[in-house]
Structure 1
Amino acid sequence: MCQLLGMNCNVPTDIVFSFTGFAMRGGHTDTHHDGWGIAFFEGAGVRHFVDHQAAIASPVAELIKRYPIKSTNVIAHIRKATQGRVALENCHPFVRELWGRYWVFAHNGDLKQFAPTLDGAFRPVGSTDSELAFCYLLQQLRRRFGDSRPPLADLRAALAELVAEIAVHGTFNMMLSSGEELFAHCSTQLFYLVRQHPFVTAELSDEDVSVDFSQVTTPNDRVAIIVTQPLTTNERWTAFAPGELKLFVDGVPQAAPAD
């Protein structure tokens, strides 16, 4: 299966530390060598980098590790192909426009007998089940809410219904963001942590690297990291429950609505 990495913050933050450990899983400490990608939101724009090469060998991945792009929402993915050949068009994350905003999506899993009818506004470019699911999600959101973005609570409720519908077809761990929030759905495995004051020194599990975050942050900074498998050895990661959809805003996991 692929692996996911997301970051949601209250101030623009770079993801160099987490991405350094994450990229090691793209062919070094794990077997996810069928491509990788990352997307950074900056205002209404998105910096989007993908490569069909393994992250451990990609010059583009080296650029990301050395160039501290700052963003409040980031989604990254390393691929182990289950559907679709190893090719640039099949690398996550995928990007589309809806309601005048870019949306970024990445998926870890494998969907069987998933063949929804698409009406043409959102179509896959590649041949993955992941991009198909993304197009279907956006299509159904547009059908439900028309041309105007709904309130966040209504969007969350609609997504909860849609991801449950898709997850019937297999494993559907996914991340989705418009740059204003980050949604993460767990089908089998996801973890998160929130880094905030007082900050500690964090140690990567996939690389002999540590960072004292108290030296590179302010007391007001807050960063949520969401990942398939914990990236550090000395921080407390919280597991998602299977079937859980979480919403992160300004580095804070939002409470689930009452039934």
Structure 2
Amino acid sequence: MCELFAMSASRPTDVNQSLALLQPRGGEIGPHADGWGVAFYEGRAARIFKEPVPAAESRCLAFITEYDFRSTNVIAHIRKANPEKIGRASANTHPFERELDGRSWVFAHNGKLPGVSTAPPLSSGRFQPLGDTDSEHAFCLLLNRIAESGPGLSAGELLTTITPLISDLASLGEFNFMLSDGEHLIAHAHTHLHKLRRNCCGGDAAQEIVLFATKPLTDEPWQPLEPGSVHVFAEGKEVHPNGSIPASHAA
């Protein structure tokens, strides 16, 4: 399976240390050698870097881990192709991005959703996959559902809109994911996802940071999220009470 990483912060900050710790898991000390990607939000737009090569061997990612990219929302991913026949290609490399209502929406997934391409029909929506992964199919389905609900959704409305579809998709297999529009960061912990909160002081204001990872990256007190839970964060804070997926769909 793949590994996820994400951050939501109250003020722009870097994730250099986290990316440096994630990088060797992509083919050196971990099996996730089929691609890597990271998205840094700058307001409504996302600056995305990704390659269909092992993260551990990427000079580009090594450069990024030392460069001072700062953001309030970050999503990163290291990929292990599953099944292997859906191999290394830019179109199959997370995170995926689409524009909706003048914002970049970014998505990364850990798990497997067999049958998703034939479950709910994709042909009726605006968003279509470019690659072959079940992950991108699921992303398009989520965005089509959001688009149907109209622009300007609050955190609560967004959660209400997508939770039934998340439940349907989770019933197909394993569906841990991170999704962001640059303002909200949505985390679905279907099976394995961990959270770490940091409160830092610097400059004129305190900094609130929350990190997410499939597996803890440090010896700090990472907390496993409840299986089947959906969380919406903005500026390092949870902005809506947890949603939940029916227990029968949470592995």
- The more displaced of 117-126 and 128-137 is 117-126
Q: Which amino acid aligns with 1:256?
A: P
Given that 1:24 and 1:55 are in contact with CA atoms closer than 8 Å, whether structure 2 keeps it comes out as yes
Percent identity, aligned pairs only, is 41
Q: TM-score, normalised by structure 1?
A: 0.88
Q: How many residues matched?
A: 239
5+ unaligned residues in a row in structure 1: which ranges?
Answer: 198-213
Q: How far, CA to CA, are the matches of 2:32 and 2:243 in structure 1?
A: 38
Offset at residue 253 of structure 1 (A): 2.6
**Residues 27 and 154 of structure 1: CA distance in aligned 2, closer, same or farther (over 3 Å):** same
Q: How far, CA to CA, are the matches of 1:99 and 1:183 in structure 2?
A: 17
Q: Does 1:94 align with 2:96?
A: yes
Aligned residue for 2:65? 65
Aligned residue for 1:30? 30
**Residues 219 and 196 of structure 1: CA distance in aligned 2, closer, same or farther (over 3 Å):** farther
Q: How far, CA to CA, are the matches of 1:90 and 1:257 in structure 2?
A: 30
Q: Which amino acid aligns with 1:32?
A: H
Q: TM-score, normalised by structure 2?
A: 0.91
Match for residue 85 of structure 1 among 78, 82, 87: 87
Q: Which amino acid aligns with 2:234?
A: V
Q: Which amino acid aligns with 1:247?
A: V
5+ unaligned residues in a row in structure 2: which ranges?
Answer: 245-251
Given that 1:194 and 1:252 are in contact with CA atoms closer than 8 Å, whether structure 2 keeps it comes out as no
Q: How far, CA to CA, are the matches of 1:257 and 1:109 in structure 2?
A: 21
Match for residue 233 of structure 2 among 248, 255, 259: 248
**Residues 17 and 258 of structure 1: CA distance in aligned 2, closer, same or farther (over 3 Å):** closer
Q: Does 1:227 align with 2:227?
A: no
1:125-140 residue pairs with structure 2 within 5 A? 125-140=130-145
Q: Which amino acid aligns with 2:6?
A: G
Given that 2:145 and 2:161 are in contact with CA atoms closer than 8 Å, whether structure 1 keeps it comes out as no
Offset at residue 162 of structure 1 (A): 1.7
Q: Which amino acid aligns with 2:102?
A: G
- The more displaced of 246-255 and 109-118 is 246-255
Q: Does 1:152 align with 2:138?
A: no
Given that 1:121 and 1:139 are in contact with CA atoms closer than 8 Å, whether structure 2 keeps it comes out as yes
Runs of 4+ in 1 over 6 A off after TM superposition: none
Given that 1:196 and 1:219 are in contact with CA atoms closer than 8 Å, whether structure 2 keeps it comes out as no
| RMSD of aligned alpha carbons | 1.7
Aligned residue for 1:186? 189
Per-residue CA distance 1:70-95 (angstroms, 9 max, x = gap):
00000000000014221111000000
Q: Secondary structure at the match of 1:107?
A: strand
Q: Secondary structure at the match of 1:18?
A: helix
- The more displaced of 235-244 and 128-137 is 235-244
Q: How far, CA to CA, are the matches of 1:56 and 1:252 in structure 2?
A: 32
Q: How far, CA to CA, are the matches of 1:71 and 1:220 in structure 2?
A: 16
